[in-house]
Structure 1
């Protein structure tokens, strides 16, 4: 690994916003501002990102956002994420507020209508994988398919500071398949949180075994007659859903996100920045950015 390479921290803004919101919402702590608007998710997202900057020591930063609840995946499969409850009323105003805070802090933000944050993360990885080291911060295991020699995925674990960090080598050693083959594994298992079923009756252990042995969804289907009668029956019944699930599990990495790298440089958090945060009602962000508060 070239230590002189830029190091880009890619943050799943939605994952950190939701995580921060629910961490305090259950106890009714919404940290309302002077206009009585909740700020718990926004402040938690920013503080989590600031902690990640101090832990991973990146030189550059990109924050990725979903833009609305519907994406091209809903056209592929109508029930995609359909069963998820509507966001809490206290969270709704914080979607725009979080993006605004991100921009005010000088953090490069990406959000594209009809695409998920995952697809933007994948496209940033694809864009910069040869020129930079990348660390992706999220709570979403789907992103493990993006692992490469200079790309690691840091999954949120506890609080603002604990992560379960995957490298490509750790993934291959643990799963016995490549990160790309993780897509095929998900095609069989589906994803209950995203609302697509994969192949009913095939769980993670069987799916992993099939991919280890036959390499891919296509490899398994080509060798169908070698499988047990039970597995053949499940595949025959669910083949169409298997193919749809593979499409849904695949992160799209071809969006053009090649802004000059200088635009992703992390600006210094100054007394002026803290003052702006304080004025906007984000005193916890101001305090974290400048541990000795000027106020």
Structure 2
């Protein structure tokens, strides 16, 4: 993202400080990032009883940094609720290439939610859906209530939910390093509209989520097609206008093309409830300090104090 554009986004963020501003946190993205950022050296932070806490400790630091940067009036944390979702029912190999989480991370899945609750922040998730779907649903709902929404994540798939009042904040390498996207920024940097983020995945697939898209079509070709025809429907309507080799690849993968686009689409109609008045950012610092002391987060406890 250009320095000029990024500086403009930071100014806009500051100007939002007196409005209703919701920070939607991608819980798993922060937790996994925190785990690997601290575990690469081989040292795992533990309590004196042996409970691993490195991921939770890092999660809290990320959360507090984002709150300090974006100054939300409301905060919600969304979570995946197991590996089985409507997407795995649609395509059995969806995310089938994922390795099991590290053993030291497993007990921190429940612990981090206890800590989030200690902040007074709602933990939101629903079995059968991914956290992305919950964030998409809440972002659309809060924006319709005239709130400004910042979605904190490391997952570029969420760029598809960027909208007039919805910014997606991608965590980049290094402390306090964010890329903030709105519709103009997404178009400037990626050459895509939010909807085209989905269309691109339909064409190219996603190796991380383990679905193939159209075999033989990479990002360069897909971007050229989207630039010329707008979306997948436009491409299919004009197949006679594309090269014979590209047409042959698309025609051979039509079913997977449509399936991949569907898998990539974040659902914004998840049946969850989390009203704005239930997620006001107003931590009970006494309660929070007690939790930090219990987990032996001495530095964080002193910071709260």
Equivalent position of 1:169 in the other structure: 184
Match of 2:280?
265
Q: Call closer, same or farther: CA 1:210–1:287 in 2, change over 3 Å.
A: farther
1:136 to 151, 156, 169: 151
1:48 is matched with: 62
Structure 1 segments of 4+ aligned residues over 4 angstroms from their partners: 1-4
Length-normalised TM-score, structure 1 = 0.93
The answer to whether 1:127 aligns with 2:141 is yes
Q: Which structure shows the higher helix fraction?
A: 2
TM-superposition CA deviations, 1:135-178 (whole Å, max 9, x none): 11100000000111121111111233111111111112333432
Contact residue 43 and residue 284 of structure 1 kept, 8 A? no
Question: What's the offset of the Cα at 1:28?
Answer: 1.8
Moved more, 26-35 or 73-82: 26-35
Does 2:193 align with 1:178? yes
Q: State which drifts further: 159-168 or 66-75.
A: 159-168
Q: Tell me, in whole angstroms, the C-alpha distance in 1 between the residues paired with 2:108 and 2:290.
A: 20
Instruction: Give the C-alpha shift of residue 271 in structure 1.
Output: 4.1
Q: Is residue 2:60 matched to residue 1:69?
A: no
Structure 1 residues 146 and 18 mapped into 2: Cα distance closer, same or farther (>3 Å)?
A: same
Which residue, out of 100, 124, 146, partners 2:114? 100
SS at match of 1:180: helix
Question: Which runs of 5 or more residues in structure 2 are unaligned?
Answer: 1-11
2:45 equivalent among 28, 31, 37: 31
TM-score scaled by length of structure 2: 0.90
SS at match of 2:253: helix
Do residues 8 (structure 1) and 22 (structure 2) align? Answer: yes
Q: Structure 1: how far apart are the matches of 2:247 and 2:123? A: 46
CA–CA distance in structure 2, aligned partners of residues 288 and 187 of structure 1: 46
2:156 matched to 1:146?
no
